[in-house]
Each structure stands twice: as structure tokens, then as C-alpha cells.
Homo-oligomer: A and B are copies of this chain.
Amino acid sequence: MRRVLIVDDDPKVCETLDRYLAHAGYATATALDGAKALEAARSFAPDLIVLDLMLPVFDGLAVCRMLRATSSVPIIMLTAKSTERDKLAGLELGADDYLTKPFSPRELVARVEAVLRRAAKQEQSPCIVAGALTIDPSRCEVRVSDELVTVTATELRLLVTLAKTPGRVYRRDELARIALGDDFEGLDRTIDAHIKNLRRKVGAERIATVFGIGYKLVA
């Protein structure tokens, strides 16, 4: 369940938004001023923050700036001022969206969903890129110069290990421990077999043998 932190100095507004978001299936927390907001951002670890511009202690812009210093959590700013200038200032500081009061809570829910959807799309790219190789563990896919090749789960783990530090030499027992599990009891030659299969799929020239030691990915 996605978590939303609501920051507004008006308890009534907090309560209303809280109820709407909870009803829409979100886990929620509220904070009434900037200091509490920063604390809650740490302790509650929200997936998204709804942040009012006018706040006691620290104002919304300050909170936004401080959050952005350490985190990239999506932020939706609420503001009573509707001039272009304010919109710009909010967006420049890293808000993902903003809403001008008054607004219907339903619209907020829609924005929250839109922003989370956008964020989720961005987040799904912990692809490992090494030369012509692009490895996407979350999709279990490997691309060689944009050509899609299918690899098995074991081959993928092996390739990811090698690709995280291209050029570094891994001994067979290291590779076995990482790709086949700490408790692997088989022969080192098993790794050879997997390397053979990987070479056939990604191109033999990309995986180098270091005689007497192990294998490495060519940089």
C-alpha cells in the first residue's frame, strides 16, 4: 500500500484530505508544521508528500528544499496564491505537481495517482549498462546493442555480477557463491558451462577468461 504524508497547518484540511486518501486506499500520516513534516518524512517514509505552501516554523518552500536535499520523494504543493510566479517557484524547487486552493479532494486524489504513476514509471529503470550490454533484472531481459536476448535466471545473476564491476576478475567460487547460492556444493566447472552459454548469447568477445583465476567482463 502506498503511503502519503499530508502537511497543512489547518487540522480540518488535514482531516479531510486524510479521509479521502485513506478511502482511496492509501496509508496516511499528517503533519501540521514544517518541522513535524521533516520528521514524519523520515519516520513515516512516505511514497508521496502533499505539502501546503503556508506553514508555521518552516514554510512549504523551505520544507521542499530540505526534503529535496536528501530525497526524491514526489511532492504535490498546495497553494492559495495562484499567480504564475508562485507556480514557477514551486516547480523549480522540485514539486512534482501543484494545486491551487480551493480544489475538490477528488482532484487531489487524481493528482496523487497521476504523480505516483509517473514516479513508478521512472523508478523501474535500475538497468545495468556495460558497453553494448543493457541488463534489466526487473524484466529478466538482456539487450546486446538493442538486440533482445533471453537468458535464464542463473545466467542473469551471473551476468549482473560481472557487469556491476566490468573489468574486475571473479574467481569461479565467487561467481558460484553469488549466482548459485552460498550453499552451492557443486563443481567449479558448472560455472564454465554457464559462461559458455552466456558467451553464445551475448557474444564470446564480451566475457574474457583470466587463465588460472576466473572470468571478467571486458570493459
Tell me the A residues contacting B by CB distance below 8 Å: 12-13, 16, 19-20, 23, 68-69, 72, 87-89, 91-96, 101-106, 110, 120-122, 124, 138-141, 152-154, 164-165, 167-169, 210-213, 216
By a CB distance below 8 angstroms, the chain B residues around A141 are: 167
Q: Are A138 and B96 touching (Cβ within 8 A)?
A: no
Contacts A20-B68, A92-B102 known; list 9 others, CB within 8 Å. A12-B92, A23-B68, A72-B106, A94-B104, A96-B106, A110-B122, A121-B165, A139-B169, A153-B211
Copies per complex of this chain: 2
Q: Are B168 and A124 touching (Cβ within 8 A)?
A: yes
By a CB distance below 8 angstroms, the chain B residues around A16 are: 92-94
Q: Which of A91, A121, A213 has the most C-beta atoms of chain B within 10 angstroms of its own C-beta? A: A91
By a CB distance below 8 angstroms, the chain B residues around A103 are: 91
* CB closest residue in chain B, given A119: B106
Q: Are A152 and B211 touching (Cβ within 8 A)?
A: yes
Q: Are A210 and B140 touching (Cβ within 8 A)?
A: yes
The complex places the Cα of A52 from the Cα of B19 at a distance, in Å, of 22
Given contacts A167-B139, A168-B138, contact A153 B92 (CB under 8 A): no
Q: Are B140 and A216 touching (Cβ within 8 A)?
A: yes
Q: Are A105 and B92 touching (Cβ within 8 A)?
A: yes
The complex places the Cα of A100 from the Cα of B187 at a distance, in Å, of 48
Q: Are B169 and A20 touching (Cβ within 8 A)?
A: no
Q: Which of B23, B72, B106, B139 contacts A168 (CB 8 A)?
A: B139
By a CB distance below 8 angstroms, the chain B residues around A68 are: 19-20, 23, 105
By a CB distance below 8 angstroms, the chain B residues around A121 are: 165
Q: Are A153 and B19 touching (Cβ within 8 A)?
A: no
